[in-house]
Structure 1
Amino acid sequence: MIHSNKPYLKRCFLYHKGLMPYLEAHTWQRSLLHERINNPNLDDVLILLEHPPVYTLGQGSSPDFLKFDPNHSQFEVHRTERGGEVTYHCPGQLVGYPILNLQRHQQDLHWYLRQLEEVLIRVLAVYGLEGSRIPSFTGVWLEGRKVAAIGIKVSRWITMHGFALNVCPDMTGFERIVPCGIIDKPVGSLAQWIPGITCDEVRIQISQSFAEVFGVELVESVGG
């Protein structure tokens, strides 16, 4: 269990998973979301994991941002219901899926997106790195490189999907897309600033930052 000096009024179950196929995680998210739509009293959830190599496109994203034929791809390609354009997931990238009831927090999607950014900006600050926002874009940048992508879906104020922070991934997969549909801004990973950094250590920092920003008590859980 993760504690701080701040009193918490809300509980959030934390699931630390290793490498999980994208569709398996997606099915799990949808199950958690529908359970909470049917019973809004259920506690919030935060899932932290990594995915095998996979490309995902947001609900309205353009296939023009793919530099390959999705029907003949080396890796899986999935269109999903989140917002945002195409992105790439792979080992070394830490993905967070918060399943939150925003009626307990704030019923404002812009607020929620800014809070997710704040979680990651605080994580970077732990390592002496100054993460930043760029107006009109969603995500977190570090010295002009996008190190974290965010895409969400909200149904009846219950959230799914979330954020992806490049910790130490093989970046070559990003070369086959226009990440997030942003042509003139490169992507980066924390390993470019902190050689040897691992997802395991960053998981701890994300958990603590998430608890602080959203004012929750994280309860580590198993199963799922």
Structure 2
Amino acid sequence: MIRSGLLLQLDTVEYGEAWELQKALLEARISDTTGDCLILLQHPPTFTYGRRYKEDDLIANREYYENNGFSIYKTDRGGLATYHGPGQAVGYSIMKMSTYTNDYYQYLRMLEDVIIRTLSCFGIVAERNEGYTGVWVNKAKIGFVGVRVALGYTMHGFSLNVNNDLTPFNFITPCGIQGVRITSIQELLNESISVKEVYDKLANLYSDVFQVRLIPVEMKTLMQGIGLAGNYVRV
């Protein structure tokens, strides 16, 4: 394994702040002032939707969501509507894609493979569902993938339901799939698993799938490395 990248592990970060962090790291990666980076974090309750968003994917209007404590963001990633919340592990991969694959769809499959292998560590047999992006267990969706590629560099990434409340998925049409069932590690095992334990598994298996040695880095050090002061996001 001769490649190396950075690993930034955070706790809960507001979605908009995390998005701005991704943009800053993407710009730095394109200008080659930083290396490839995997960010692992959680978000407060947030609905997001991608470029292929359809109005029907949000069951109510923005005011309804905001009045019930949810943030909502239209993003520049692929995919449709999804939910992020505490207890869900989220991974954002900022990288030069051609270092690992020249095939966009192969890149998606690699992210799915990270999730599938992680679930296997907990004795959960997961699989892909032909025709859909993401990861499934017994026809219920547990892992989500949505990315953006700009000038050959990636941002956004994946999410994995660990201990999060699944009820908010009822307020959207997840990934635009009518009637889809959503599950989590906690629901499948009937026990609570530490999100940070899942972080460790995800990081190790991301390293295996992409054949990259991940070097843990602190936020302040990372920001100073690309010429930005402070922590950049509130953590």
**2:145 & 2:197 partners in 1: Cα distance?**
21
**Partner SS, residue 147 of structure 1:** strand
* Runs of at least 5 residues in structure 1 that lack an aligned partner in the other structure: 1-7
- Aligned equivalent of 2:58, options 58, 61, 66: 66
* Structure 2 counterpart of 1:34: 27
What do residues 74-123 of structure 1 show as CA deviations (whole Å, max 9, x unaligned)? 21111000000000000000000010111211121101000000001001
* Structure 2 counterpart of 1:147: 142
**Partner SS, residue 111 of structure 2:** helix
Q: CA deviation at 1:184?
A: 2.9
**1:60 & 1:34 partners in 2: Cα distance?**
24
- Aligned equivalent of 1:25, options 18, 28, 34: 18
**2:131 & 2:27 partners in 1: Cα distance?**
31
**Partner SS, residue 182 of structure 2:** coil
**1:217 & 1:170 partners in 2: Cα distance?**
33
Aligned residues: 216
* Structure 2 counterpart of 1:4: none
- Checking the alignment, whether the CA contact within 8 Å between 2:25 and 2:34 is kept in structure 1 is no
Asked whether 1:221 is paired with 2:213, we answer no
Asked whether 1:56 is paired with 2:48, we answer yes
* Structure 2 counterpart of 1:5: none
Asked whether 1:198 is paired with 2:194, we answer yes
- Aligned equivalent of 2:89, options 89, 94, 119: 94
**2:29 & 2:215 partners in 1: Cα distance?**
18
Larger displacement relative to structure 2 (208-217 or 98-107): 98-107
2:40 is matched by which residue type in structure 1?
A: L
> Matches of residues 77-156 of structure 1 in structure 2 within 5 Å?
77-156=72-151
- Checking the alignment, whether the CA contact within 8 Å between 2:135 and 2:144 is kept in structure 1 is yes
Ranges of 4+ aligned residues in structure 1 off by more than 3 Å: none
**1:59 & 1:70 partners in 2: Cα distance?**
17
**Partner SS, residue 100 of structure 1:** strand
TM-score normalised over the length of structure 1: 0.94
1:42 is matched by which residue type in structure 2?
A: T
**1:145 & 1:179 partners in 2: Cα distance?**
11
Aligned-pair identity (%):
37
**2:64 & 2:165 partners in 1: Cα distance?**
21
**1:200 & 1:137 partners in 2: Cα distance?**
28
Alignment root-mean-square deviation, CA: 1.1
TM-score normalised over the length of structure 2: 0.89
